[in-house]
Structure 1
Amino acid sequence: MKIAFIGLGNMGGGMAANLVKAGHNVRAFDLSEDALARAKEVGCATFSAVREAVEGVEAVVSMLPNGRIVRQVYIDDVIGHAPHAATLIDCSTIDVATARAVAEAAHGEGYKMVDAPVSGGIAAAAGGTLTFMVGGERHAFEAAKPILEAMGKAVIHAGDAGAGQTAKICNNMLLAVHMIGTAEAMKMAEKLGLDPQKFYEISSQSSGYNWSLNAYTPMPGVGVDSPADKDYQGGFATALMLKDLRLAMEAADNADAAVPLSSRAAALYEDFAGAGNDGLDFSAIIKTY
């Protein structure tokens, strides 16, 4: 299949490479010459403009930094320039309103479009083990699914347009809350004289079980290997967690949803990032305790 891939950053580069490995003809675009060079090395054809990349394709996949850029790329350079039979797949994490507005614009011109944000991080993007949560009409989801399966281990239809973004920001809002709770509990146990490894062994097999403790332990030398054991480098940056929390707080306001724990988590990550820690993995929040 001929696929345009727009946005070749830490996530997009690995995703595009996996589409090539799956046998697709990938036409890549990014503003970064270095990113284009890396894409070329893994077998992508590279282009200097979005409109050139989308010529004659059967699908367009994007992984972009924010909603403003997503709207600009699709409205200005994809819709009306890619073939109308092409399936449009935006894997960026953006606000729900923009996802729905771009999808509506695409539908108005006869395109199938889904929002398909991801969970899994850079390693999963490179390894092809991402989880995609997909919003869009059923026929659009079915068209996008084989493409997404080449880049991930799970592709889940969340509902109509915007549902993928809703799932992503709610999921990461929950992740922020239980990472902070895990950090608090581990440090409190240590200060009360309990060996952190013993706490891990007990809580990871009892009612304290959660992903942040069991699969992403935030304390170095305890539990599973994680970014904590690499001085909090790699993984999912605090800046990205904060981006998702800001989107979640905006969505909560729009929906009149009460999120007191998540609001506090967002405030804690604002402070942590503001203290110069935005490049550290989000589990480094344990440093504040």
Structure 2
Amino acid sequence: MSGIKTVSFIGLGQMGRPMAKNLHEAGFRVVGFDASEEARLEAGKSGLIVSNSLEDAIRDSDCIVTMLPNGDIVQDVLVSNDRFLSAHKGALLLEMSSSAPLQTRQLSELVGTHLRVVDAPVSGGVKRAIEGTLTVMAGGSNEDIESSKPVLEVISSKVFSCGPVGAGHAMKSINNYVSGAGVVAASEAVRLGTEFGLEAETIVDVLNASSGKNNATEVKMKQFILNEAFSSGFALGLMSKDIGIAADLAKSLNLNLKNLEETDLMWKRASKEVGGSADHTRMFEFVTTNSDSKN
């Protein structure tokens, strides 16, 4: 278990709670915190130690994991009133939220005299969080990423070292751009085929046996969309946010990526019309509703 014995887990929502539970069951002393009393109560039922105070949760911690909605909240939670100083000097901060890469670099500068920062966002959704088979995209020094592996390997099946601090969050936004574009393409494909007279299930089966196969056709169309369950566990607004991070990164690098821009705009519209809290697989409803010709 290397030198990490106590892990402070900040953010006990749908993703954070099973991740923290897996660390607890692996033998780490896990102290959880969430601003939501309901989330704290649910985590306590899982056998986790839960603190009502963030400062107490990270006090004397060897490793802080943040699993929060965005980088603004991470900075507010840790940097405000220098709360991060409660942790051991030299402790690891594993920033696993979906944050903007340049903001993550700023965070590293703010806390870097006290904490070693590795940004380590994940992909895989709630099901793989429960299984401990998430994919982790890590950014930081080689030494710090190596130090973090005893924790990361409990909650994931694959850990990719992507580069310096910020690289993990850059990779996460790129991944979700491709994922979100795939959901749109698969939804439009089904709309096109069914309008012609094909069966939706047949379309998906053929795509999955052919070169059109992607994550949306494999693990979303039949499981969450065609059966109208819309319960993948990942919000439409979060997907939109992540794609927006990729679009903003492209602009900051002076890149003119038209498909990324269009995908970003489409998910923003869907988030507004369908609702950001809706499951992201409801993009299918947005696509089908807006697919009729206006001419």
What is residue 251 of structure 2 aligned with on the other side? 253
Letter in 1 for 2:213: Y
What is residue 172 of structure 1 aligned with on the other side? 176
What is residue 100 of structure 1 aligned with on the other side? 105
Q: Which runs of 4+ in 1 moved over 4 A?
A: none
Could you tell me which of 236, 239, 263 is aligned with 1:238?
Answer: 236
In the alignment, structure 1 residue 137 sits paired with structure 2 residue 141: yes
Letter in 2 for 1:264: E
In the alignment, structure 1 residue 118 sits paired with structure 2 residue 122: yes
Cα distance in 2, alignment partners of residues 2 and 264 from structure 1: 44
TM superposition shift of 1:195: 2.1
Checking the alignment, whether the CA contact within 8 Å between 2:232 and 2:281 is kept in structure 1 is no
What is residue 200 of structure 2 aligned with on the other side? 196
Q: Which runs of 5+ in 1 are unaligned?
A: 218-223
What is residue 65 of structure 1 aligned with on the other side? 69
Checking the alignment, whether the CA contact within 8 Å between 1:88 and 1:112 is kept in structure 2 is yes
Letter in 2 for 1:262: L
Checking the alignment, whether the CA contact within 8 Å between 2:200 and 2:226 is kept in structure 1 is no
What is residue 155 of structure 2 aligned with on the other side? 151
Q: TM-score, normalised by structure 1?
A: 0.92
What is residue 80 of structure 1 aligned with on the other side? 85
Q: TM-score, normalised by structure 2?
A: 0.90
Distance change in 2, residues 1:181/1:149 (3 Å): same
TM superposition shift of 1:197: 2.3
Letter in 2 for 1:121: G
Q: For residues 37-48 of structure 1, what are the structure 2 equivalents within 5 Å?
A: 37-48=41-52
Q: Which runs of 5+ in 2 are unaligned?
A: 289-295
Identity, % of aligned pairs? 30
Aligned length: 282
Other structure's SS at 1:10 match: coil
TM superposition shift of 1:84: 0.9
What is residue 280 of structure 1 aligned with on the other side? 278
Q: Pick which of 112-121 and 202-211 moved more.
A: 202-211
Q: Pick which of 270-279 and 132-141 moved more.
A: 270-279
Q: For residues 2-17 of structure 1, what are the structure 2 equivalents within 5 Å?
A: 2-17=6-21
What is residue 191 of structure 2 aligned with on the other side? 187
Could you tell me which of 211, 214, 239 is aligned with 1:210?
Answer: 214
Residue by residue over 1:130-173, the C-alpha shift from the partner in whole angstroms, topping out at 9 and shown as x without a partner, is 11100000111011111011111111111100000000000101
Distance change in 2, residues 1:277/1:105 (3 Å): closer
Checking the alignment, whether the CA contact within 8 Å between 1:20 and 1:42 is kept in structure 2 is no
Letter in 1 for 2:111: A
RMSD: 1.7
Cα distance in 1, alignment partners of residues 103 and 18 from structure 2: 25
Cα distance in 1, alignment partners of residues 277 and 111 from structure 2: 35
Cα distance in 2, alignment partners of residues 201 and 64 from structure 1: 36
Cα distance in 2, alignment partners of residues 179 and 276 from structure 1: 15
